[in-house]
Structure 1
Amino acid sequence: MTTDTRHDPASARLHRPSGIRSLQLGETKVTYVPDGAVQLTPRGWLPGTTDEDWAARPEYLDDTGHLAAGIGGLLVEHGDRALLIDAGFGPQSFPAEPGSAIGAIRGGALLDNLAALGRGPGEIEAVAFTHLHTDHIGWAWHPAPGSDAPAFTRADYLVAEPEWSQRHLLEAHGTSKERLDALAPKVRTTTDGEEIFPGVRVRFVPGHTPGHAAYVITSGGQDSGRRDPGGRDPGGQRLIAFGDALHSPVQIGHPEWSAAPDHDSVQSADFRRRLVGELREPGTIGFGIHFADVVFGRVGTEGGRAVWQPVDAS
């Protein structure tokens, strides 16, 4: 018999999007900056699953039967400098459409939440994208309130080179040519392993999109030369912001469950398997931008299967 755990206080964080959450990694502070939320239909979004799979895992579903997912960005601060990873959905919202894998979706709070953190958009020196889907580029193309230009007036837009060179493939997933053209004047492409900010390196992880990237953030700030190619900092910590390589903590135990919009489901599943192994390593924290109210975590083991273990964040 399956026990319904949806009202268990320990599961409540899986049923709501996250508020502002911060962690200190040595000299670097990382903060999840919410922009909005989206509801994902479990079998529509993860089409490799069955009704029986979800009946055995009710704790992952909210009272409406959806996976709850946040939308936002990750603010990385080092001294007076500030980088933003992903730019939310922007000031727009859409209701659920029957038969769609995506339920209701809304954005618009990112700039207000940056202000609450004491950061104006003009202070962001670069916006680094994990990929160019619409829920990650919103405020980078949409005009800011009271303006005819996007909010990040000083920022370069950092995009993995294979993502930008194959951007035409993203139009099938809703990223219009007009939006890509709006980004183009500010885009600077990045290479695999490039350090784009003190202690922040790009890692190419194609699968969800042709040029999807993760960002490895180490605790020491400016590159000391002691890090290995995986971004490990002896004696310190690292955080892997893995973007849409995973959309829900349930995939930690089931990396074979690819998302419906994955460009290459086999490639994305292969990266998830490797990522779960990396997140088990000492001193390694993960950041899942869509991971409900458990955006920071580590991977542990329960019942012989990998599980997401939230890390306390203020």
Structure 2
Amino acid sequence: MKIGQLDVLPVIDGSMQAPARDILSRPGVDDAWACHSELLDDSGALHMTAGGFLIRTGGRIIVIDTGLGTIKADDVQVGGFLDSLRGYGVEPADVTDVLFTHLHYDHVGWATSKGQVIFPNATYRAHAADWAHFVTADDAVPGAVKKLKPIEPQLELFDAEHTVAPGLDARPAPGHTPGTTLFIISSEGQRALLLGDIVHSVVELSEPDWQAVYDVDAAMASAVRNAIADEALAKADLVAAGHFPDLAFGRILKSDGVRRWERVGR
């Protein structure tokens, strides 16, 4: 996707799927998905792309999120992340920055592999609250610690809104996780928002009260999600999220008082 002079390219690792009711629900409604069955397969599963994004700006080569990595499970098909990068002419050693929207396993998978850092020359950047929650807390998940500890010598933490590189800004948006971060790409008066897991499915942009099972703070996540959706609608921003089909971009439109996401391009 072209944002002014900047290309924002999808880096697809693979896909994952799960029963939709186990991922997203509407409080007090037994079958909320009945009105959105077109988004599911015949078994009621929601299919989600996994991967990240590539941006070149200011002489830097930046990766935002790194997919699922080498995880093996019946409901995931992964392993394409590095090949996707190479398809754009980028080797792991070329990457200057690896940014994380948050530190859930399906967004940090290619940060390391078998204890080895995948991007040897990159500065890894994450929100301090997520690092504390996933890595240094007394009850941190061992798998997250094992995956992420090796990047510590190359790690820079942040805790506030800031400019990462020309045309690329980070804005904390907690709720899904304590340090969930929204990345804003801007160039020549155009903007795009990379939402990570602030939104898991396009349905959350039309259903303001739905909740994701993985949200650490469901109320805060909902408030943040709706505020960002309204901002994107008002500013006609392009919007992509970490599990949208093909990591595609779209715009948020509104008719009859209901928001919806409409894909732009193919």
**Shared fold (TM-score, shorter chain, > 0.5):** yes
3-state SS of paired residue (1:180): helix
Q: 2:122 aligns with which of 155, 161, 164?
A: 155
CA deviation string 1:240-265 (max 9, x = no partner):
11110110000001132111011000
Instruction: After TM superposition, give the deviation of residue 170 of structure 1 in Å.
Output: 10
Match for 2:160 among 192, 198, 221?
Answer: 192
Residue by residue, what CA displacement relative to the aligned partner does 1:52-73 show, whole Å, maximum 9, x if unpaired? 4222221111233111100001
Q: Is the 8 A contact 2:26 2:32 kept in 1?
A: no
My pick for the range that moved more, 266-275 or 170-179, is 170-179
The structure richer in strand per residue is 2
Please identify, of 51-60 and 257-266, the stretch whose mean Cα deviation from structure 2 is larger: 51-60
Distance of aligned partners of 1:162 and 1:79 in 2 relative to their CA distance in 1, 3 Å threshold: closer
* Gap change, CA 1:77 and 1:283, over 3 Å in 2: farther
Bigger Rg, structure 1 or 2: 1
Q: Provide the residue aligned with 1:77 in structure 2.
A: 56
**Alignment check: 8 A CA contact 2:116 2:150 kept:** no
* Paired letter, 1:59: E
Cα distance in 2 for residues equivalent to 1:153 and 1:64: 42
Question: Aligned to 2:228, what secondary structure does the other structure show?
Answer: helix
What aligned pairs does 1:1-314 form with structure 2 within 5 A after superposition? 23-48=1-26, 50-78=29-57, 80-95=59-74, 104-143=75-114, 149-167=116-134, 168=136, 175-220=143-188, 236-293=189-246, 295-313=248-266
Separation in structure 2 between the aligned mates of residue 280 and residue 296 of structure 1, nearest angstrom = 14
Offset at residue 150 of structure 1 (A): 2.8
Answer yes or no: is the 8 Å Cα contact 1:130–1:213 preserved in 2.
Answer: yes
SS of the aligned residue for 2:106 comes to: helix
User: Is the partner of 2:43 in helix, strand or coil?
Assistant: coil
Taking the aligned partners of 1:310 and 1:125, their CA distance within structure 2 comes to: 30
Compute the TM-score of the two structures, normalised by the length of structure 2.
0.92
SS at match of 2:116: coil
Q: CA RMSD in A?
A: 2.0
Flag structure 2 segments of 5+ consecutive residues without an equivalent.
none
Residues 111, 147 of structure 2: 8 Å contact kept: no
5+ unaligned residues in a row in structure 1: which ranges?
Answer: 1-22, 96-103, 221-235
Give the superposition deviation at 1:290: 0.3
Tell me, in whole angstroms, the C-alpha distance in 2 between the residues paired with 1:253 and 1:177.
Answer: 36
Q: Which whole-Å CA distance do the structure 2 matches of 1:122 and 1:82 have between them?
A: 10
Cα distance, 1:174 vs structure 2: 7.2
Give TM-score, length-normalised by structure 1: 0.78
Please state whether the residue corresponding to 2:111 is helix, strand or coil. helix
Aligned 8 A contact 2:204 2:210 in 1: yes
Structure 1 pair 81/211, CA: closer, same or farther in 2 (3 Å)? Answer: same
Matched residues in 1 for 2:190 and 2:138: separation?
Answer: 34
- Residue 175 of structure 1, CA deviation: 4.3
What stretches of structure 1 move > 4 A for 4+ residues in a row?
Answer: 168-175
